[in-house]
Amino acid sequence: MTMGESEVLDALRGAGAILHGHFQLTSGRHSGTYVQCARVLEDPALTTRLAEAMARRVADRRIDLVAAPAVGGIVIGFAVAQALGVRFIFSERQQGSMTLRRGFAVQPGQRVLVVEDVVTTGGSVAEVIGLVRACGGETVAVTSIIDRGGAKLFDAEFLPLLRLEVESLEPRECTQCASGTPIDSPGSRRLSD
């Protein structure tokens, strides 16, 4: 059974994954809404259902490998790879740049699906696509649980489960910053190497 947008949104709400406040997103932009997909991914059965729905969106394509950016994409990326019956790798940030470590590699000619939990600008996704290309692989598509809306920094076909239009602003445009509201930065980009 496939999951529609309303079911995905209900799952996010039910898990307490949609937060309201003053947040700095992984992209550096600010928002009054943050989606903490890790709360949804705590539930293995729900994670499996989401992954199967994502896998169905690319079932008509030959996928050799799933690649995801750490940290947010690891759990859902693994689950999508399992649903597709293919290998899974993840990239990590080292000295500020995405890299493949731990012996992970993309072989020339491999067709890769890039998986992320939440995409705003898609900066991390674009970096993973760059790694795939540098290895001689081809990014077939990108999928995520949520597309937060707005322009993307990558040009691959994008197949999110849910489009959730949430305003995000450059810090200099943020009214909450201007009013002195404390900011929370729950994203993973600033984790230490």
Does 191 fall in a domain?
Answer: no
Residue predicted with more confidence, 177 or 51:
51
Tell me how far CA of residue 141 lies from CA of 99, 113, 136, 153, in angstroms. 20, 5, 16, 14
Question: For the CA atoms of 14, 17, 21, 24, what is the dihedral angle to 10 degrees?
Answer: -170
Q: In sequence order, what DSSP letters do the residues of 12-64 get, joined into one string?
A: HHHTT-EEEEEEE-TTS-EEEEEE-GGGTTT-HHHHHHHHHHHHHTTTTS---
The answer to whether residue 100 is domain-embedded is yes
Torsion of the alpha carbons at 13, 46, 146 and 131, rounded to the nearest 10: 150
Instruction: Give residue 43's pLDDT band: very low, low, confident or very high (50, 70, 90).
Output: very high
Query: Does position 67 have pLDDT exceeding 70, yes or no?
Result: yes
CB 116 within 8 A of CB 96: no
Is residue 54 included in any domain, yes or no?
yes
- Percent of the chain clearing pLDDT 70 (strictly above): 96
CATH of the domain at 95: 3.40.50.2020
Per the prediction, the chain carries an average pLDDT of: 90
Give the model confidence (pLDDT) of 159-172 as tens digits: 999 998 888 889 99
pLDDT at 192 exceeding the cut of 50: no
Is the preceding omega at residue 71 within 30 degrees of 0, hence cis? yes
142-154 mean pLDDT: 92
Dihedral sign of CA atoms 78, 83, 153, 22 in order? negative
Count of domains observed in the chain: 1
Domain range spanning residue 49? 5-178
Q: What is the pLDDT of residue 35?
A: 86
DSSP code of residue 4 = P
Closest alpha carbon to 69 in 169, 168, 139:
139
Which pLDDT belongs to residue 165?
A: 83
pLDDT interval class at 3 (50, 70, 90)? confident
**Stretch 132-137: mean pLDDT:** 96
Residue 193 lies in a domain: no
Q: What does the alpha-carbon distance between residue 55 and residue 11 come to, in Å, rounded to a whole number?
A: 18
Q: What span, in angstroms and rounded, lies between the C-alpha atoms of 153 and 119?
A: 10
pLDDT for residue 191 is more than 90: no
Strands (E), 55-169: 65-69, 87-94, 97-100, 111-119, 138-147, 162-163
pTM of the predicted structure, to 2 decimals? 0.87
Q: Give domain status of residue 10, yes or no.
A: yes
